[in-house]
Amino acid sequence: MYASTGATLPTGPGWTFEPKYDGIRVIAVATAGEARLFTRNGNDKSRQFPEIAAALRALAARAGRSLVLDGEVVALDAGEPARFQALQSRMHVEDPRAVALHATQAPSALVAFDLLLDGDEPLIARPWRERRTRLERVLGRRGRGGKGGRLRLGHTEADGAALLARARDAGWEGILAKRTDATYAPGVRTRHWLKLKVEQRQEFVVGGYTEPRESRKHLGALLLGYYDRDGRFVYAGHTGGGFTHAGLADMARRLRPLARATSPFTEAIKTNAPAHWVRPEVVVEVKFSEWTADGRLRQPIFVGVRDDKPARDVRREPVARSGAA
């Protein structure tokens, strides 16, 4: 179940509000003997985050039943959720020794905000308020292990305006508004969940890159696109900002094996340096100020690679008009 982008803060009864965590969305499947962390791509990240998997196995053992939770894997900084970039060093590590080192040096936690299965009982047809009550019973009202715990209960509050103000002051990406009477619809983008963003962010697919100029190395700018309803790959703009030197090298390593002779975009585009085209498979997150009238990104800045999300699912995110329903 995915949130739509909201234009305004919803008012009236029946809404609850949460911080929008900056991590990897996962479905966590836990039994006493096994725990898996599935991304939207269906990839299991439990090997990359063994401390979370261990905490989930212990939780299921204490509960005496299997559990399926919806939540976000977040990096921790001084025990608090940190920016997504802090997770990137862990997302593809396979060597057990390196994984163990990362778990110590770059710790993570699962912030759980929904409970979908409690033992043999599916909960997706139950309203959010009931699922939340059951989640609090399973995790405890403060989560497991306090500030150092690997399982956290997602924060909620009734005052959306106050939470949005906190988000602006703290530099969060934004907040989520959820209908308290809404059931859970797997795989569906719904207006019962709304994203209210302090800054514009969304995923795009890389269709190419330009050659670097002057002292810059590896690549110049990423050429970004998204898929429309008819499956056409639409150009959205380019970004060269937000990269470290190591980030440029990593992006070049990802893109070079995907080289192709022709542009993947449906329209001809002009670039300010020679372009290299790639198969549109690499998904990146970009922050930007707004969309222009001709459908281009204004002031786009690279945030990170999002290989937890399928490229074919990347669309231009519509803005849903929020209300009391």
Alpha helices in the chain (DSSP H): 50-63, 96-105, 128-139, 160-170, 245-255
Considering the candidates 20, 178, 287, 309, report the single residue annotated as catalytic.
20
Neighbouring CB atoms inside 10 A of 27's CB total: 18
Residue 20 a catalytic site member: yes
**Distance between CA 61 and CA 68 in Å, rounded?**
13
User: Nearest 5°: CA angle at 186, between 133 and 129?
Assistant: 20
Q: Is-contact 84 285, C-beta < 8 A?
A: yes
Label residue 105 exposed, middle or buried (CB < 10 Å: 0-12, 13-18, 19+). Answer: exposed
Nearest alpha carbon to residue 108 among 14, 26, 15: 26
Task: Write the CB contacts of 121 (distance below 8 Å, at least 6 apart in sequence).
Answer: none
SS3 content of the chain, % helix, strand, coil (to 5): 25, 35, 40
Half-sphere exposure of 311 (CA within 13 A, CB side): 15
Q: Is-contact 297 284, C-beta < 8 A?
A: no
**Distance between CA 30 and CA 52 in Å, rounded?**
11
Active site residues: 20
